[in-house]
């Protein structure tokens, strides 16, 4: 378990440093040492200030409704148990998204996080499966994945901006090059064109690595790898109708693995089930959740739709 976790985090560090290197290289090529220093100071300033949007405001974009502890005390008891085993200092706030799709996501930082769960999850997941999903999201919070992916996005956007700036300069100088004997530095041109794509692929690889790490941490927290594996399988199957699964297997997942933000579900389930032989896991005691669903109120069965962020809800 520790070997897998260390490997995932080392790989994540390498990917993040690679993205920073792409951005730094473009800055140095365009403006020399001064450009590299200015770019480094700008990134350091942004990272230090660490601007974050309000989790409540972000949740409102999805029409999410806060779940208060008095409305679902048993659910918060489960979350508190998971948070304590995860090592979280602050209890995340739960939100309910009125949607029939099966999805969960997290926003905010370690000290002010929010976890959103759709009505579809409440309606179709068992207690142990729901615990696995909550532990997965809590692991993202503990591992500071939201901040890490935000930093990766900063590097990716910086690389794209520098690339666009370079291509504009190239177009402006194109008539001069055609009318004189001046020559392009083709390696620089190719780097300028392809750097954003390389950075984007690296960002996707980093996202997949963080998902694997969150799976491993969630299994350690609950002591029940099969619970999360079962939840992932249900979430995967819920994306397709019966006809789609029979006649169009892999319909929405037709994109190459390099272009996915999440690893293939089959691979995630396989890795989780391999952890069942780990004797160091201690199974978590679950609180009794008899009627918390009834106190959440009527579930709204809205049709799944795609949000601008790329999430299905």
For residue 116, the SS3 value is: strand
**Rounded Cα gap, residues 76 and 131, in angstroms:** 11
Active site residue 137: yes
Segments of the chain assigned E as strands: 65-67, 93-97, 104-109, 112-118
**List 137, 211, 244, 288, catalytic entry:** 137
Please, what's the b/e burial string for 135-168 (b: 16 or more CB within 10 A of its CB; e: otherwise)?
A: bbbbbbbbbebbbbbbbbebbbebbbebbeebee
Question: What tokens does 73 get?
Answer: 């005390």
| CA torsion through residues 266, 270, 273, 278, sign | negative
3-state helix, strand, coil in the chain (%, to 5): 65, 5, 30
DSSP-assigned letter for residue 287: P
Active-site residue list: 137
């Amino acid at each position: 378990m520790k070997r897998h976790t260390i490997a995932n985090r080392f790989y994540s560090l390498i990917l993040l440093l690679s993205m920073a290197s792409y951005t730094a290289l473009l800055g140095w090529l365009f403006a020399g040492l001064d450009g590299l220093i200015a770019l480094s100071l700008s990134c350091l300033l942004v990272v230090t200030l660490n601007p974050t949007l309000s989790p409540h405001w972000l949740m409102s974009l999805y029409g999410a409704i806060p779940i208060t502890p008095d409305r679902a005390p048993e659910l918060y008891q489960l979350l508190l148990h998971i948070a304590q085993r995860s090592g979280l200092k602050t209890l995340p706030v739960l939100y309910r998204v009125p949607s029939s799709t099966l999805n969960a996501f997290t926003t905010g930082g370690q000290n002010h996080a929010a976890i959103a769960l759709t009505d579809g999850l409440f309606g179709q997941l068992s207690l142990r499966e729901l615990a696995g999903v909550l532990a997965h999201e809590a692991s993202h919070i503990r591992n500071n994945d939201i901040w890490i992916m935000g930093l990766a996005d900063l590097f990716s956007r910086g690389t794209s901006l520098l690339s666009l700036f370079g291509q504009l300069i190239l177009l402006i100088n194109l008539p001069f090059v055609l009318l004189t004997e001046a020559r392009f530095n083709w390696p620089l041109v190719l780097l300028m064109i392809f750097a954003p794509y390389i950075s984007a692929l690296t960002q996707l690889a980093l996202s997949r690595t963080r998902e694997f790490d969150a799976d491993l941490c969630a299994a350690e927290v609950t002591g029940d790898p099969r619970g999360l594996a079962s939840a992932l399988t249900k979430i995967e199957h819920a994306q397709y109708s019966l006809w789609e699964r029979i006649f169009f297997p892999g319909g929405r997942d037709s994109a190459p693995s390099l272009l996915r933000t999440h690893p293939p579900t089959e691979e995630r389930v396989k890795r989780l089930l391999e952890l069942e032989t780990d004797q160091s896991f201690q199974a978590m005691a679950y609180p009794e959740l008899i009627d918390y669903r009834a106190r959440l109120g009527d579930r709204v069965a809205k049709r799944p739709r795609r949000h601008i962020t790329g999430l299905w809800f």
